[in-house]
Amino acid sequence: MTATTEIRATETDKPRHRRERRLHVSPGLLTALPVLIFLALAFAAPLLAVFGYSFMPEGTFDFTFPPTLENYLAVFSGSYYISFAKSLGLALVTVVLLMVICWPIAYGMAKLFGRWANLMTLAIIIPLFVSENIRLFGWVLFLIKGGVFLGGLKAWLGFDGESILYDVPAIVLGLVYVYLPFTLFPMVLGISMVSREVTEAAFDMGASRWQVFREVELPLATPGILIGGLLTFILSLGSLAESKILGGQAVIMIADEIETAFTFGQNWPLGSALSVILILFSGTLVLTLLSWVDLDRILGRGGND
Amino acid sequence: MADPILRLSQLSKRFGQFEAVKGIDLAIQEGEFFTIVGPSGSGKTTLIRMLAGLEEPSDGEILLRGERINETPANRRPTCMVFQSLALFPHRSVGQNIEFPLKMRGVPPVERMNRALDLLRLLRLPEDYYKKQVSQCSGGERQRIALARALAFDPEILFFDEPLSAIDYRLRKTLEKELKDLHRETGKTFVYITHSLEEAMVMSDRIGIMRLGELVQVGAPDEIYSRPANRFVSEFMGEVNVLEVKPNGAGLHCPVLGSTLQGPDGKADFESGYLVIRPEYLRFIAPGETAENTVTGVLYNEYALGSRIQYQVRVGEQVFLVEKLREQRYGGKLDDEVTIGWEARDSVLATE
């Protein structure tokens, strides 16, 4: 039915029909095509490869074998849940700490600092030009026994302390340090969306400073906070360098396990299965949270109840 | 007169070197609709922010029923402000918006809801708006929601910071009247800020005109309309004819016209300044008629202003505006030589 209508239309009104079709389909798709191809090659293809490998027999390096679930069985029967739980725990602690640390900074940058906010942005961004590993080794030099911090304390005050290096606190420090911008900047955006008049109106109508925060600023800044929190959580969940360099293998994170499986273990299928589980976990979390918190509604845009 | 509800004495606000409000003295009576009018940069917003408690005065005093409230923060003053943007909470329903001030004061939910529904009725909004999202309401409805919210905790004074300035002309005209009706219905003291004297005229019991941080004139709308204190006020009123004059014994010498005009009585101490004549006080003088002041020029153009017609008459360098009701329009055509005139008592002397 549709086909006949279309043909008739083509016959009776050919030039106009053609032009309309062109205008309808082409520009958007055409301009998006390079990005789509790039995403397919650089994003989807590796994911598919990982997905494919996770169903291959243990220790194999190609896709020619019949699919098997043995890697997943190995993951679930092994003790990987411990590393997974440790990664989850560290990621959670990092997110919570960063929320508390970033709120006052972000609030200041969005509302109070004025021109100085730009300078702060630069100060936070510039270190990102230096490789993460180098920056982490910098922390090692700072924290190590006899290093910048403890060595300095000893030389000047005669105080001889224990280093926090190569244990959980150092890893958390590293995570907080590395992922601060990822929490901070979305939060700044979130807070700057809260108009000054709205907070003043709340205050004028009898809200205390705390009530203004809880009833107005926090809910209105939620989109930014949520996005920053998710970014940080997922990045920390898959982080590797902090636990290796600052933690000195005191804690084996899930990313460690994946790396070991791929390199030392020469077991790509196992590493792939671990990766797929991690990806599925983060993906589900992101989608659930984003659908649970209706961003449009928070922002008061469109949509019916 | 009874004690004023709000008294300002020598109230000033400085931002660094800049003095936004310069020593204002003013008394606002209970139940009054007082409007402060001024162009942008006149300090009117700073003034009302100090009254609301969002800005602390640098000098002077704010007395609410005789008690100094300079240091009382906004959330502890029995006043409420309606902001220019209305500042409704986009993440809350209409009902939650209206209940907000009550919730902050720990009023129980049922009581809050009853109050919100009463206010919806007072502002002529349907009751089922209680559950509606603010984002789904029209401009006029939002205005009413903001008013309902401001009235919720029964404040003693309501402040308004140009809440109608972003609304289109026709709706604004309706809302101006609604606001004045609401003022009658509630009997509360309203202090209103606007840059439009026209808006102020419609609503206010008294008007204060502000310029560069000072109050230039305070008075009833009629008073300000017919006796502007200076050239600034008269020009702020809308289009007026302003002639520079200097007394010369026989009357007022007007250099640009090269003639001597008759001014209003009084103002014996007037040394130099301006003669202000409103366009509706000018009339076309037919042959055989006279007026105390007359000038002859060319009818250059005419503009239809709804119920009135405005004529531009050029007398040499000087441009005069004459306004007539549509029924009394001038019969001739453009480029006619016309004589226009006015009575001395219809003009006002103003200083710079």
With respect to residue B93, please indicate whether it lies within any of the assigned structural domains: yes
Q: Under a CB-based contact definition with an 8 Å cutoff, are residues B240 and B277 in contact?
A: yes
Q: Please report the residues numbered 146 through 165 in chain A whose beta carbons come closer than 8 angstroms to any beta carbon of chain B.
A: none
Do B73 and B140 sit in the same domain of this protein? yes
Asked if A197 lies within 8 A of B134 by C-beta distance, the reply is no
CA distance B98 to A95: 35
Q: Are residues B94 and B150 in the same domain?
A: yes
Per-residue pLDDT reduced to its tens digit, B44-102: 999 999 999 999 999 999 999 999 999 999 999 999 999 999 999 988 999 999 999 99
* CATH code: domain of residue A160: 1.10.3720.10
Decide if A44 is inside a domain: no
- Say what the pLDDT of residue A65 is: 85
Q: What confidence score (pLDDT) does residue A165 get?
A: 81
Domain check: are B67 and B216 in the same one?
A: yes
Tally of domains within chain A = 1
Q: How far apart are CA A120 and CA A123, in angstroms?
A: 5
Write the residue in A198, A203, A211 that is nearest to B89 by C-beta: A198
Chain centroid to CA A114: 28
ipTM of predicted assembly, 2 dp: 0.83
Short-list A45, A66, A43, A63, CA closest to A53 = A63
Do B219 and B256 belong to one domain?
Answer: no
Q: Are residues B250 and B213 in the same domain?
A: no
B175, B260: one domain: no
Question: Do residues B42 and B166 both lie within one domain?
Answer: yes
Interface of B with A in 33-62 (CB under 8 A): 52-54
CB of A216 within 8 Å of a chain B CB? The answer is yes
Q: Give the integer Cα–Cα distance in Å for B246 and A115.
A: 52
Whether residue B158 contacts residue B190, with contact meaning beta carbons closer than 8 Å, is answered with yes
End-of-domain residue from the set B178, B204, B231: B231
Beta strands B347-350; B6-15: pairing state:
unpaired
Quick one: which of B69, B64, B74 has its CA closest to B104? B74
**How close, in Å, is residue A233 to chain B by CA atoms?**
26
What does the block give as tokens for B181?
Answer: 């009706």
Among B231, B251, B274, identify where a domain stops.
Answer: B231
Q: What percent of chain B has pLDDT over 70?
A: 99
Q: How far is CA B260 from CA B246, B263, B299, in A?
A: 9, 10, 22
| pLDDT tens string B3-51 | 899 999 999 999 999 999 999 999 999 999 999 999 988 999 999 999 9
Q: Does some domain include residue A45?
A: no
Asked if B131 lies within 8 A of A200 by C-beta distance, the reply is no
Full 3-state SS string of A175-211 = HHHHHHHHHHHHHHHHHHCCCHHHHHHHHHCCCCHHH
* Geometric angle at alpha carbon B242, from B238 and B248, rounded to 5°: 155
- Using a CB-CB cut-off of 8 Å, the residues of chain A touching B103 are 215
Could you list the residue range(s) of the whole structural domain that residue B76 is in? 6-231
Q: Do A300 and B81 touch (CB under 8 A)?
A: no
The per-residue pLDDT for A35 is 94
The CATH number of the domain where B139 resides is what?
3.40.50.300
Q: Is B124 exposed, middle or buried (0-12, 13-18, 19+ CB in 10 A)?
A: exposed
- With CB atoms and an 8 Å threshold, state whether B101 touches A205: yes
The predicted structure's pLDDT at residue A11 = 45
Segment B262-312, tens digit of pLDDT: 888 876 678 888 999 999 999 999 888 888 999 999 999 999 988 899 999
Sheet with B6-15, edge to edge strand ranges: B18-28, B6-15, B59-64, B67-68
**Residue B81 belongs to some domain of the structure:** yes
Q: Which residue range is the domain that position A275 belongs to?
A: 74-298
Number of domains in chain B: 2
| Max CA separation in chain A (angstroms) | 95
Question: Sign (positive/negative) of CA torsion B253, B258, B259, B262?
Answer: negative
User: Does the distance separating the beta carbons of B85 and A220 come in below 8 Å?
Assistant: no
Whether B151 and B243 map to the same domain: the answer is no
User: CA triplet B12, B7, A206: central angle to 5 degrees?
Assistant: 85
* The predicted structure's pLDDT at residue A156: 84
For residue A127, the distance in angstroms to the closest alpha carbon of chain B comes to: 36
Query: From the CB of residue B46, how many other CB atoms can be counted at a distance below 10 Å?
Result: 20
Same domain, B203 and B248: no
The residue among B51, B104, B119 with the most chain A CBs within 10 A of its CB, best to mutate, is B104
Is residue B351 scored above 90 in pLDDT?
no
- Residue whose entry in the numeric block shows the structure tokens 């004028």: A204
- Which among B81, B253, B226 has a CA at the least distance from the CA of B153? B81
In a domain, A117, yes or no: yes
Question: Are B326 and B219 part of one and the same domain?
Answer: no
Tokens of A227: 């996005």
Whether residue A157 is contained in a domain is answered as: yes
The answer to whether residue B1 is domain-embedded is no
Domain boundary among the residues B231, B253, B271 is at B231
**Which helix (H) or strand (E) is B269 found in, with range?**
none
Q: Do B104 and A207 touch (CB under 8 A)?
A: yes
Residues B251, B344 contacting (CB under 8 angstroms):
no
Count Cβ atoms within 10 A of the Cβ of residue A41 and give its class: 0-12 exposed, 13-18 middle, 19 or more buried.
exposed
pLDDT of residue A1: 40
Query: Does residue A40 lie in a domain region?
Result: no
Sequence-distant (6+) residues with CB within 8 A of B187 are B31
Own/partner contacts of B258-261, CB < 8 Å, gap of 24 or more, are B258/B316, B259/B295, B261/B293, B261/B344
**Yes or no, beta carbons of B53 and A215 under 8 Å apart:** no
Let me know whether B109 and B154 are in one domain.
yes
Mean pLDDT of B329-340: 88
The structure tokens 């659908």 sit at: A291
Whole-number Å distance between alpha carbons of A213 and A199: 9
User: Could you say which DSSP state residue B134 is in?
Assistant: G
* Per-residue confidence (pLDDT) for residue A47, from 0 to 100: 92
Residue ranges of B 66-105 with Cβ closer than 8 A to chain A: 73-76, 79-81, 83-85, 87-91, 100-101, 103-105
User: Chain-centre distance of CA B199, in angstroms?
Assistant: 5
The pLDDT of residue B113: 95
Count of CB atoms within 10 A of residue A107's CB?
19
Instruction: Report if residue B212 sits inside a domain.
Output: yes
How far does Cα B23 stand from its chain's mean position? 21
| Chain A, chain B: beta-carbon pairs less than 8 Å apart | 79
Mean pLDDT value across residues B134-159: 92
Report d(CA B34, CA B200) in Å as an integer: 9
User: Does A218 reside within a domain?
Assistant: yes
| B104 lies in the same domain as B198 | yes
In one-letter notation, the amino acid at residue B155 is: P
In a domain, A161, yes or no: yes
Q: Return mean pLDDT, chain B.
A: 91
Residue by residue, pLDDT tens for chain A (305 residues) are 444 444 444 444 445 555 555 556 678 888 999 999 999 999 999 999 999 999 988 888 888 888 888 889 888 888 888 889 999 999 999 999 999 999 999 999 998 988 899 999 999 999 889 888 899 888 888 888 777 788 888 888 877 777 788 888 889 999 999 999 999 999 999 999 899 999 999 999 999 999 999 999 999 998 889 989 999 999 999 888 888 888 887 888 888 889 988 888 888 999 999 999 999 999 998 888 888 766 655 555 544 33
Chain B: residue whose CA lies nearest to A300: B90
Strand pairing of B6-15 and B79-82? unpaired
CATH number at residue B329: 2.40.50.140
A288 lies in some domain: yes
Check residue B88 and give its pLDDT. Answer: 94
Among A residues 32-61, those touching chain B with beta carbons less than 8 Å apart? none
Rounded Cα distance, B62 and B58, in Å: 11
